[in-house]
A and B are shown apart, each in its own frame.
Chain A
Amino acid sequence: MTDYIIRRTLLNVIVLWMVATLVFFALRVLPGNYAVNQFAASNIGAVTPEVIAQAEAELGLDKPVLQQYREFMWDTVRLDLGDSFRSKRPVWAEIRRALPYSMELGLLVVLVGFSVAIPVGIVSAVKQDLWPDYLLRGVAIGALAAPVFWTASLAVIVVLKFSLFRIDVIGQPHIWEEPQAALQWYLIPMVAGGLASTANTMRLLRSQMLEVMRDDYVRTARAKGLQERQVVMRHALRNAFLPVITVMGLTVATIISSQIVLEQMFLIPGVGRLLFQSIFLRDYPLTQGLVLITTVVIVFTNLAVDILYGVLDPRVRLA
């Protein structure tokens, strides 16, 4: 196990280097840079080539790209992600501020998603080809098909129309500070995001359950006289869950790092919104830092999932 973890960790480092390199050059291939984009809202007549050149020099963008790359890699190795072009604050500080919001939203989305997907997947499998199965699958496919921004926009219109509750997009409270206000703020995005993420998990769980329910050991469990509930929950579900956990792990990592649409819509100052802004403005240090951190989260979540996989299923040999 230890060898496996070490090997995977080293592989992850290579992946990180490749991602860092890719994002560094990809950003510089995009037209424009921060020195220009910061003036996008300006009277463009005042933005002369000399002004742009001076701004580029101040940001170090006038240096040869390879020199910039060498400096970036050296700083990254020392865990120095640089300062954001826009805020002039360290990228680490920006991430520290944004990450809790993304974690909150991501975990709430996951909570909604899985708490809907798991029971629905089980019921749908147990009631295969009966009306509950058709209904739940229909709803799941509907949730998958509906764009998250559409669901959320619809909900916002209803909430505002009937003044159902207050959505505090300005106060931006954390759950541990103002639980009620925070939950009201997160309610629509967490439900919209949760429902969107439900469908895949639910459908995977259903198909796994159906497969497992036909296995010999399930028949044996029934033959022993166990109650159907025990057969499903204790024997079938545990085995059906293995591939689902892999998907869940990746879903968690993705959800935490990529709620760009929902964060934009509800003014949640999380990682997704920060990433969107930084790409739009060509804030290179911030984009590079955010992509790297997201990659770290995803590759190490993958590793954790694989380890968990082994714990849940002793047949899987990791070493």
Chain B
Amino acid sequence: MNTTNYWNRRLKRRRFVQGASLGTAGVATLALVGCGDDDDDDTDGGGTATATSGGGGGDPTTAATSTPVPANEIIHGGVGVVQSANVYDSVDGHRSVASPALSVLNRVQSKLLRFANPNTGELEADLAVDWEQPSPDTVILNIREGVTWQEDGPGAADPSASGGRPLTMDDIVWNIERQRAALLADGTETADMGRNSYWSKVESIDVAGQNITLTLTQPDATFVQGLANEFNLIGQRELIEAYEDTNTEIEAYKVIGTGPFIVTEWIPGESISMVKNPTYYESDKPYLDAWRFVQTFEDPTAYRIAFQQKDVDSFSDPDPTTTLSIVEENADNMHVRYSGTANTVAIYLPRAQAPWNNDMLVKAIHLAANRRELIQQLHNGLGRVSGPVSWLQEAWAIPDEELETTPGYRIDKDKDITEARALWEAGGGPDIGDVTFVVPETWASRAGWGATPELVAAQFNEAFGTSQFKGATKGYGEIIPAWASKNFDPFFGWIPNVEIPDARADLVGAFDSGSRGNIWNVNEPELVDAKLSQAIQLTDLDEANVLLREVQDLAIENGQWGRVIMYNYIAPTAYWNYNKSVWPSPEEGWNFLATAVTALNWWNDTNDPSYSGRSEPSYKPL
């Protein structure tokens, strides 16, 4: 990604949109700030991806852009402090489906590969020091020698664990086979083995020396990138099986790994301590002596107090203006980074049921949805519209310039709305009665987002000259099962569509006629299934991109079949200047899959003037 062009592009468009839609001075101030960053703790799932390459390569279209720090500048030691999550679902990485647990486990346990640059998908060695995909259905991994399980800490001291023993090829095979079978030690099936669908792609596993060969059930060029997915952790069989029945009861002694940190304390919602693993296989890393996760800040006041007193190293308020104003007040000592949020915002329409089985109505909603207006209203202009593939997956997404003239995404919104209204009326929209858009409670409870149901409804009422659109809120407890049944209310909110930088598997999951995630009854064997199937097998990314683009164009032509992707907003995070790490560019942070890169590369510059007054945080030692 060309950083200069990226920033210039964003600035120009946001200014334009502001002038067209809102034109308020306050928002204009924000617009000048730019976009695109991460939060160090923003972790997200991941699942498939780019093929090819061995020994540390990514693909040529997504070359690394991260800015490494010269080794002689790095100061080792110290403690990184971030806030903890409130809820952790499991100590078993295979069975956790939640990002918070993975943000801990990814610091403690290794994966076979990891992302050197999560934004582009560039891979680097982790437990596998070399990898290749000699054919689309074969992946060969060369596993690092001399790796040992952590020797110290509560996990190693647990009677069930084998602390200090060498990592074996059997360990790797067991981790794969367990997830592939989704069976517990006693042979019972379990539903929470979240990566079962990914590992089910493995037909056979062959071990020869330090090499492990995975033969896939069908050619899949996206498989290798999935190995770096944060879900694909390598845990120790003895300890995991000992606590299979109590894996949801979070305790530090239930966790051991081969990763850079040893967890010494894990009290959900209160405190987590992780101490540098002295036997970690990369001798120069990690840079920090320890991580401390402090209590969850449900209220921004406490978070702000802690950050401004340097009790935590980063700060992100739900209201971006608060974050930016703090940085502005302390411009000499703080900086801000912008990251796209991996939870895409979308509208889901229940295309499997009337009246939404009428494609004219579906397309009318797609066209009328005013994405840029919502970005202004809800996110202070910090966001970018996304096509069927999110802009986070930049190598696969429709470029911004093209989206600006694409139906539904046009800068000239009046044209979209004129077409939308004609379709709405032709499809009998005025006669379908009330349409209630459901917004998740967790969305509506965020500061400044409470009016979202009304805003979304108002958009369509205005576009169609009606008053039949309403807004409501519901919990995901009701929403998710309803999606699975394909019988749900029109929805607006976060959706799961971004797994890893490679977008191919995500589109297969959404639109393939045989996919469980295809809740819109998309059934296009020739135009969608065949093309996606072919794309996912191609190691030539340009060819694959052409096919994926054809599917995206078809989706847009059909109102995205009710899976109406809107945008990905951008969250600013404030950091003290003493806080250093590897970042994709001077102003950008990681958009997703950031835990491993953060854990290894984070360090505190004690010579920076902003470090003055920071007291060294306490943590539970080994």
How many chain B residues touch A (CB < 8 A): the figure is 54
Tell yes or no: B98 within 8 A of A by CB: yes
Tell yes or no: B532 within 8 A of A by CB: no
User: Are A39 and B302 in contact, with the CB atoms below 8 A?
Assistant: no
Partner of A49, one of B295, B474, B481: B481
Tell yes or no: A40 within 8 A of B by CB: yes
Residues of chain B lying within 8 A (CB to CB) of residue A50? 191
User: Are B305 and A156 in contact, with the CB atoms below 8 A?
Assistant: yes
Tell yes or no: B390 within 8 A of A by CB: no
Interface residues of B in 126-147 (CB under 8 A from A): none
Tell yes or no: A37 within 8 A of B by CB: yes
- 4 further contact pairs, Cβ within 8 A, besides A39-B476, A87-B267, A265-B301: A45-B45, A55-B192, A169-B302, A277-B298
Least distance between A259 CB and chain B CB atoms (Å): 13
User: Are B309 and A86 in contact, with the CB atoms below 8 A?
Assistant: no
Least distance between A146 CB and chain B CB atoms (Å): 16
Tell yes or no: A1 within 8 A of B by CB: no
Closest to B496 in A: A45
Tell yes or no: A47 within 8 A of B by CB: yes
Bound-state Cα–Cα, A203 to B617, Å: 46
User: Are B250 and A88 in contact, with the CB atoms below 8 A?
Assistant: yes
Residues of chain A lying within 8 A (CB to CB) of residue B249? 88
Tell yes or no: A42 within 8 A of B by CB: yes
Partner of B87, one of A48, A54, A86, A273: A86
Closest to B329 in A: A161
Known: A39-B97, A87-B269, A269-B295. A44 touches B305 (CB 8 A): no
User: Are A169 and B311 in contact, with the CB atoms below 8 A?
Assistant: yes
Interface residues of B in 534-564 (CB under 8 A from A): none
Q: Which of B250, B294, B309 has the most CB of A within 10 A?
A: B309
Interface residues of B (CB under 8 A from A): 44-45, 85-87, 89, 97-100, 190-192, 194, 231, 248-250, 267-270, 294-295, 297-299, 301-302, 304-306, 308-309, 311-312, 441-442, 474-478, 480-481, 484, 494-497, 499, 509, 517, 617
User: Are B45 and A31 in contact, with the CB atoms below 8 A?
Assistant: no
Partner of B475, one of A36, A53, A87: A36
Closest to A166 in B: B309
User: Are B87 and A38 in contact, with the CB atoms below 8 A?
Assistant: yes
Residues of chain A lying within 8 A (CB to CB) of residue B476? 32, 36-37, 39-40, 44, 47
Closest to B46 in A: A43
Identify the 10 closest CB pairs spanning chains A and B, nearest first: A45-B496, A32-B477, A32-B475, A43-B45, A36-B477, A50-B191, A42-B98, A46-B97, A267-B302, A88-B249
Residues of chain B lying within 8 A (CB to CB) of residue A51? 97, 191-192, 194
User: Are A43 and B191 in contact, with the CB atoms below 8 A?
Assistant: no
Least distance between A83 CB and chain B CB atoms (Å): 9
Residues of chain B lying within 8 A (CB to CB) of residue A266? 301-302, 305
Bound-state Cα–Cα, A273 to B301, Å: 14
Bound-state Cα–Cα, A166 to B311, Å: 11
User: Are B299 and A264 in contact, with the CB atoms below 8 A?
Assistant: yes
Bound-state Cα–Cα, A31 to B475, Å: 6
User: Are A170 and B306 in contact, with the CB atoms below 8 A?
Assistant: yes
Interface residues of A (CB under 8 A from B): 31-33, 35-55, 58, 86-88, 149, 152-153, 156, 160, 166-170, 172, 264-267, 269, 273, 276-277, 281
Q: How many A-B residue pairs have CB under 8 A?
A: 148
Bound-state Cα–Cα, A31 to B479, Å: 10
Least distance between A155 CB and chain B CB atoms (Å): 10
Residues of chain A lying within 8 A (CB to CB) of residue B85? 41
Residues of chain A lying within 8 A (CB to CB) of residue B192? 51, 54-55
Known: A38-B89, A53-B191. A267 touches B309 (CB 8 A): no
Known: A31-B474, A88-B250, A167-B309. A47 touches B99 (CB 8 A): no
User: Are A42 and B248 in contact, with the CB atoms below 8 A?
Assistant: no
Bound-state Cα–Cα, A220 to B473, Å: 66
Bound-state Cα–Cα, A168 to B311, Å: 9
Residues of chain A lying within 8 A (CB to CB) of residue B297? 267
Bound-state Cα–Cα, A267 to B271, Å: 13
User: Are B97 and A277 in contact, with the CB atoms below 8 A?
Assistant: no
Least distance between B197 CB and chain A CB atoms (Å): 10
Partner of A43, one of B268, B481, B496: B496
Least distance between B355 CB and chain A CB atoms (Å): 25
Least distance between A170 CB and chain B CB atoms (Å): 5
